[in-house]
Amino acid sequence: MNKVLEVTGLEGGYGNVQILYGIDLHVDQGEFVTIIGPNGCGKSTFLKVLFGLTTLHNGAVLHNATDVSGWRTDKLVKRGIAYVPQVDNVFPSLSVKENLLMGGLGLKSSEVSRGIERSCKMFPDIKYRMNDLAASLSGGERQMLAISRALISNPSFLMLDEPTAALSPRYQQEILANIDSLRNDGISVLVVEQNARLSLARSDRGYIFSSGEVVYSGSAENILHDPKIGEYFLGLNTAEGE
């Protein structure tokens, strides 16, 4: 199976501060993989290291068998990697259209138009809000816009950090269904989720992080139904060390 992402022995953090300890993780072509784990265990940091936003200390990151360890974000985007951050993922003072155009910086205008068309098809709600300020969108609409913006560059691998956080149950389902459907367009997905059950229900596999390490990995099915793993779920919404 072709691995879109293969991470081995990853150590990283912020400057000299180490947060992640020897992470091994992979995403196969067409997979939906979910990372879960308590607050503060390093899930967001992991995605940021992968996207070149914070320090990789050690280990290897391969994208489609090319070593991209330590690459800059813009080069990763050109390779087809995209990322939707957990917070501040839209520019509130810009219109929806302007936000989408920001996602297409450096692309040909024909590619940007195609990207915007794709987003409108996926999220019709966005289509009718093109000239509204992003600040005026609901939480769910903002998340749709953030995902749409990440998709403008036509990625083949998308990472999302807690895409359903603070959304109503209806939007949680809708957003996860949309993310799931990206696979039909050949996009492989790595999601960090606090709504573990909801995300795992759509995932092929999952990883459980704790204190900067992978403490369990397996099929989503196993994580959802193995009673031994249930204890991790119970602690999921409490901070590390509490």
Return the one option of Mg ion, ligand ADP, none that residue 146 interacts with (CB less than 5 to 8 A, by type). Answer: none
- The upper half-sphere exposure of residue 164, i.e. CA atoms within 13 Å in the direction of its Cβ, equals 23
Sign for the pseudo-dihedral over CA of 61, 67, 69, 73: negative
CB 3 within 8 A of CB 65: yes
Return the one option of Mg ion, ligand ADP, none that residue 191 interacts with (CB less than 5 to 8 A, by type). Answer: none
Q: Judged by CB, which is closer to Mg ion: 43, or 205?
A: 43
User: Which tokens sit at 123?
Assistant: 């999220």
Distance of CA 209 to the CA centre of its chain: 15
Q: Taking the CB of residue 124, how many other CB atoms lie within 10 A of it?
A: 10
Return the one option of ligand ADP, Mg ion, none that residue 12 interacts with (CB less than 5 to 8 A, by type). Answer: none
Q: Which residue is nearest to Mg ion (CB)?
A: 44
Q: What is the largest CA-CA distance in the chain?
A: 52
Number of residues that bind Mg ion (CB under 5 A): 2
Fill in the per-residue mask, 28 to 47: x = in contact with Mg ion (CB under 5 A), - = not in contact. ---------------xx---
Q: How far is the CB of 20 from ligand ADP (least distance, A)?
A: 8
d(CA 149, CA 169): 23
97 closest CA partner among 29, 145, 49, 137: 145
Q: Judged by CB, which is closer to ligand ADP: 39, or 64?
A: 39
Q: Judged by CB, which is closer to ligand ADP: 36, or 134?
A: 36
Q: Judged by CB, which is closer to ligand ADP: 41, or 191?
A: 41
Return the one option of Mg ion, ligand ADP, none that residue 128 interacts with (CB less than 5 to 8 A, by type). Answer: none
Give the interface with Mg ion as residue ranges (CB under 5 A). Answer: 43-44
